[in-house]
Amino acid sequence: MAETEQTALDIVVGETVGRVSALLARPTGARWLYVLAHGAGAGMRHPFLEAVARALADRRIATLRYQFPYMERREGRPNPPGVLEATVRAAVRAAEAAAPGLPLVAGGKSLGGRMTSSAAAKQPLDGVQGLVFLGFPLHPPKRPSSERAEHLDRVSLPMLFLQGTRDDLADLSLLEPMCRRLGPRATLHVVEGADHSFRVLKRSGRTDAQVLDELVGATAGWLGALEPAGVG
């Protein structure tokens, strides 16, 4: 396992929003830094994100996990999109400052990934070279639609979509043509049998650990294809 340095950070989002906390996990010889936002119902210390960060570190991929303001304050409802997008931008700036010279990708779990792409659609995220979505929330449960993805047409970055076949927030019959429409910018990796939380049924014959390994392996492989000159 890679030796990893853990650093707690405070991120200033803005005068009206205040600060949020963050965790930088940087393994020795890191090649990338993934600015990783949490989903709507659980913060940056959720066991799934903890496991993702550890597994990525073993592949020399650093992570910066951070809280959205509502989660920092233990409020139940997510902040308005403008506040969430401002937090994404602040986290990207913090990542650049904490690890200068380390190439960045951004994204996250569900809501966190969607708010990252929404921010990138409105204005480029400085230094970010790609987006990684851990379960893009294409639509609410049992209400198939692709409206939430319309902004992706305005994102110029390469994008990796990691999606389970049992994800009730992303009907693959809608997600697959959406990715085709985005062309070479979009890569879709489908995880057989996984739901929106990337859990699998026992009868699948797979374990959550195997699914995690698949997610991290797909991410590392995709990043390898993006590898900037001079990194490593």
What are the pLDDT digits (tens) for 26-73?
999 999 999 999 999 999 999 999 999 999 999 999 999 999 999 999
Prediction pTM value: 0.94
Closest CA to 133 of 94, 188, 88: 188
Q: How many CB atoms lie within 10 A of CB 182?
A: 18
Whether residue 232 lies inside any domain: the answer is no
Which residues span the domain enclosing 185? 4-226
> C-alpha distances in angstroms, 28 versus 7, 104, 221?
14, 16, 19
Whether residue 231 lies inside any domain: the answer is no
* Position 231 confidence tier, pLDDT thresholds 50, 70, 90: very low
Q: Does residue 230 surpass a pLDDT of 50?
A: no
Tokens of 1: 């396992």
Q: How many domains does the chain have?
A: 1
pLDDT in tens, 177-188: 999 999 999 999
Whether residue 28 lies inside any domain: the answer is yes
Q: What pLDDT shows up at residue 193?
A: 94
Whether residue 157 lies inside any domain: the answer is yes
Whether residue 196 lies inside any domain: the answer is yes
Provide the 3-class DSSP secondary structure of residue 57.
helix
Share of the chain above pLDDT 90, in %: 86
When pLDDT is averaged across residues 158-163 and rounded to a whole number, the result is: 98
Q: What is the CATH number of the domain that holds 158?
A: 3.40.50.1820
Handedness of CA 168, 196, 216, 24 (dihedral sign): positive
Whether residue 33 lies inside any domain: the answer is yes
Whether residue 114 lies inside any domain: the answer is yes
Q: What pLDDT shows up at residue 138?
A: 94
